[in-house]
Chain A
Amino acid sequence: MSGTVAHLNTGPTAEVGLEREEHFTTDGQQIHAAKFGLWCWLLTELLLFAGLFLTALVLRIMHPQAVTEVAKHLKFWIGATNTAVLIVSSFTMSGAIELSRLGWQRGMVRCMLATAALGSLFLVLKGYEYYEDWDEHMMPFLSSRPYVLTQDPSSRLFTDLYYITTGLHGLHLLTGVSILLVMTWMASRPGFLGRRQNRIEIFGLYWHFIDLIWIIVFPVLYVLNR
């Protein structure tokens, strides 16, 4: 993949490769297995969310009124900002992968830190959004704060789905950021790229996937129903 690239002044290049495990016969086989395995995992994850998306869409078709009512209470602009934040984080992650292929360890670590920072920014914004929702009495499961749309049972189901979907996505992102930070710490040590470069690639797939899920969540919950 790497080809010949003019050296920028980002420090020395490290050797890129991997340590083969004993039950594989070739490097290619190990790389293929790892990638393929992660794709399978992402397929499973996609179906985990699919049930929620499908329910939300069916609800939208059956009770358009109620769902639009809830959508008016969702913070569209926070959602949109967050979408942008995640898209940028995908770019920085791709940068990290590209640099890891070239063996530019320091630049790669910086890109990874930027990615983690953007992921954290997303979580902070999401937390603020939840706080606003709480403030608007948009949490029907809290008996202490009566739900603002109490009249409409199907709106409540949509609201609950909103919390479960975004909560589950937030949990994935939190996991992603944690893994990323641990990995960044490991990747900053010398010799990492020579033994474990493909882990960066694999993690990159996972990160793009979390991003993709949000790119589905945003229109399904925020945009379609406005």
Chain B
Amino acid sequence: MSPSDLVLGRVSEGVREPHPGRTTIDREPDYLHDEHTLRSWLGSTDHKRIGILYLLSITFFFIIGACAAGLIRLSLVVPNGQIFSNDTYNKLFTIHGVVMVWFFLIPSIPATFGNFIMPIMIGAKDVAFPRLNRTSWYIFMTGAFFTLFTVVVGGVDTGWTFYAPFSTTFSNTWVVPALIGVIVVGFSSILTGLNFIVTIHTMRAPGMTWFRMPIFVWTMYATSLIFLLATPVITIALILLVMERAFHIGVFDPALGGDPVLFEHLFWFYSHPAVYIMVLPGMGVISEIVPAFAQKKLFGYRFVAYASIGLASLTFFVWGHHMFVNGESETSAVVFSVLSFAVAVPSAVKVYNWTATIYKGSLKLDTPMLYAMGYIGLFVVGGLTGLFLATLAVDEHVHDTYFVVAHFHYIMVGGTALAFLGGLHYWWPKFTGRMYPEALGRLSAFFIFIGFNTTFFPQFLLGYLGMPRRYHNYPPEFQLLNILSSAGSVVLALGYLFPMFYLTWSLRYGKRAPANPWNAKGLEWTTSSPPPKHNFETPPTVDFEPYDYIAREDRV
């Protein structure tokens, strides 16, 4: 397929400095040390600073969502729901869902690594529309403000799915501000996606052809397509909810002449692709980490690139699998079922190709690689349980039970969150110019993996036993498994807290990072750590293939 990479793989001199001297005077200051005022951060149009702003804001939201999750697990230790009132519990899982989905998972990798790394990977000075990029973050924070307002004044209890007519007519909580928060954040996603697509199309460095782009860039492209094509549909659906709730313009409530199933269609037309907004970037991150730590070319590069675009396209045709038991016609159920099975193919391609990349590599099991391996394991389990759910007769039993909860947490935590943490450790030296403590990093990966499985594996059993989601009054026979799950969540929480502390610690006391600590390939490792304000000392010209790790016999 691609020409052998033994001969190529040299960047023109003057770009690749293995250890750029940090003391030379004629270098321009890097993006972190350029200016220090708060104003210089909040007014910055530099994609790297905006990426860091996103990193801070989604970390904040992750903490909120995780606290809600902790309280949910606390409540579920006892079967009779004595710890919180029913309404409080409902508000907790709603906040957990809304915050984690729209304010952590969806922006997590695209808005942070996508903003920071992607333009450097293609050798651009910045994204195509830097001011729009800054605006996206402000829009994000506006949506965040509405959501926080909702939490502070008393919460919302519709579940993150906002199903009508409950959300439009029957709920007595702050539904409209919550909806506005999500609508506004949707615009932030749309603008980010638009910016990325235009950047990838128009800002590539000379020589950076489509098939020289790292897979991470490909997944960013695929994700941005979903941002552009799916987000407006939920925007309109939520606008219709607001219209119905505030002005009684009935579209969904049968009492106002509407149709509740219509909302389910519009909602899942976005929210299924949204899962791939969460998954694809994770796949991109893993496709960067695995070759770097195996020191070997990514196996089947083109296949993986096509699989990313294929997934992004297929994901638009499976939304009906969320509605097998709402009386949808048998024909459409069967069609959506078989299409959902088809999604497994591109996903499987990636897993096989990562495995084949490791084969005959030269492996270093550092923290990012541990996260990546954890990711592969959890993603496979999550994906295959997705196939169970796509099987009609199985879904008739486990739809809306803890089986579903376990399945999508395997995808979202096992997929997105682990990839996010893996990528965070992988690019941390590039972001900050500092190394994190390796031993603690490995420990955190281990804790998260163990804690996660202890938390969520019992939920597969609970689901098959028939414990419905969103219940905190549950039959006493389910208590043991719930206690096990809650115990696991404590370990998981520890695993999350670790990186927060030692990464913060490393900002000040960590070892100074060289330009390329992992001996990895790709343009982002050819510039200094942290990168200069315009990413490169001299604009790069690309004359090498992606992942041109040198294969050497019996490399030691």
Contact = CB atoms under 8 A, between A and B. Distances in A.
Q: Touching in the complex, A and B, CB below 8 A? A: yes
Interface string B408-449: 000000000000000000000000000000000000000000
A23 B534 CA distance: 8
Interface string B447-466: 00000000000000000000
B259 A157 contact: yes
B194 A40 contact: yes
Given A33-B128, A160-B257, 10 more contacts: A33-B201, A33-B203, A36-B197, A36-B201, A37-B128, A49-B236, A55-B251, A157-B251, A157-B257, A163-B249
B257 A37 contact: no
Given A36-B202, A51-B266, A141 B247 contact: yes
A155 B259 CA distance: 12
A64 to B, nearest CB: 16
Given A160-B251, A163-B249, A36 B125 contact: no
Given A33-B203, A36-B201, A37-B129, A47 B229 contact: yes
Chain A interface, DSSP helix/strand/loop, else mixed: helix
A166 to B, nearest CB: 12
B202 A160 contact: no
A157 B235 CA distance: 19
B237 A44 contact: no
B77 to A, nearest CB: 42
A25 B228 CA distance: 26
11 contacts: A29-B202, A33-B129, A33-B198, A37-B128, A37-B198, A40-B193, A47-B233, A156-B250, A156-B256, A156-B257, A164-B249
Interface of A: 22-23, 25, 29, 32-33, 36-37, 40-41, 43-45, 47-52, 55, 140-141, 143, 153-157, 160-161, 163-164, 168
Contacts of B124: 23
Contact of A48 (B197, B235, B249): B235
Nearest to B534: A23
Interface in B89-119: none
Contacts of A43: 228-229
Nearest to A43: B228
B243 interface: yes
Contacts of B534: 23
- Which of A36, A37, A43, A154 has the most chain B CB atoms closer than 10 A to its own CB? A37
B232 interface: yes
Most buried by A among B190, B203, B249, B269: B249
A104 to B, nearest CB: 29
Contacts of B202: 29, 32-33, 36
B228 A44 contact: yes
B126 interface: yes
B232 A44 contact: yes
B190 A44 contact: yes
Contacts of B249: 141, 160, 163-164
B258 interface: yes
A49 to B, nearest CB: 8
B154 interface: no
B29 interface: no
Given A47-B229, A157-B257, A164-B243, A36 B250 contact: no
Nearest to B131: A21
B254 interface: yes
Interface string B216-229: 00000000000011
Contacts of B497: none
Contacts of A48: 232-233, 235-236
B201 to A, nearest CB: 6
Contacts of A25: 539
B198 A160 contact: no
A61 B355 CA distance: 50
B251 A51 contact: no
Contacts of A153: 254, 257
A33 B130 CA distance: 12
Interface in B508-551: 534, 539
